Amino acid sequence: MHPILPEQARVLVTGATSGVGEATARLFASRGASVALLARRPDELERVAEEIGERAQWFVADVSDAGSAIAAVRAATQKLGGIDVVVNAAGVAGYATLEELDEDLWHQVIDTNLSGTFYVSREAGLTMRAAGGGSIINVASDLATMGVAGLAHYCAAKAGVVGLTRALAIELAPLVRVNAVCPGPIDTPMLRSGLDQEDDPAEALRQKESTVPLNRLASPEEVARAIYFLAVEGSFATGTAMAFDGGTSAA
């Protein structure tokens, strides 16, 4: 496997218009990489690409749809002249009790978080292997190994991401490394949207922070730096699921 040099890297990021995905795209670009931004909303894609500058290209994609995901990966690969790093950060959540968790919501969460990660990883992974090497980082969650009431669909999806990561690491070795980062609560628009639905959002935030031994949420930029480490500097890591959760999985 050839080494990944940040200033020469071609990086594809899904979920690139908010949260961890956006922070990761910005970090790689700041270190000289060319980045392909994938997400569903063209207006937000254009915004992030303009703010990053000439190093960014954007592609509309719904990763929960296999055809859309594969077409976007192929377009990005052609535009950048290849792919060296893939970051699967696209994800959706939403609390739902078992009584509320209908088939549509189940499939929405599973199809985006798990199937989308598979579609992108398979297409890009085979391409990178044929080209001589690469690195895939999947954004999982501390809930991959923890159960939470109201999040059965999300827990199942993220546990699947970790299992998928390990299987792909074996199948794509030795040329393509595949790892996952498992964050705890992150201060993202998705999390804030959930808190805003509570009667007292400020109190809900304090309660969320109190569940973390470090007594705070992670920032998207902190998670992006962990992703960068696994993608570029952790050259002997593959098949790992890095806990990056402020201690939630240790409590």
Coil/strand/helix, residue 46: helix
Which strand ranges, in their side-by-side order, compose the sheet holding 241-244? Answer: 56-60, 34-39, 10-14, 85-88, 134-139, 176-183, 241-244
Q: How confident is the model at residue 244 (pLDDT cuts 50, 70, 90)?
A: very high
pLDDT score, position 137: 98
* CA–CA gap between residue 190 and residue 94 (Å, rounded): 9
Q: How confident is the model at residue 196 (pLDDT cuts 50, 70, 90)?
A: confident
Per-residue pLDDT, averaged over 39-54, amounts to 97
pLDDT tens for 117-170 read: 999 999 999 999 999 999 999 999 999 999 999 999 999 999 999 999 999 999
pLDDT score, position 199: 77
SS3 content of the chain, % helix, strand, coil (to 5): 50, 15, 35
* Mean pLDDT for all residues in the chain: 94
Assess whether 228 carries a catalytic annotation.
Answer: no
Q: What is the pTM of this model?
A: 0.94
Please report, for the chain, the start and end positions of each structural domain, with discontinuous segments joined by +: 6-183+219-241, 187-217
Q: Catalytic: which of 95, 119, 154, 228?
A: 154
The domain defined by 6-183+219-241 folds into Rossmann fold (3.40.50)
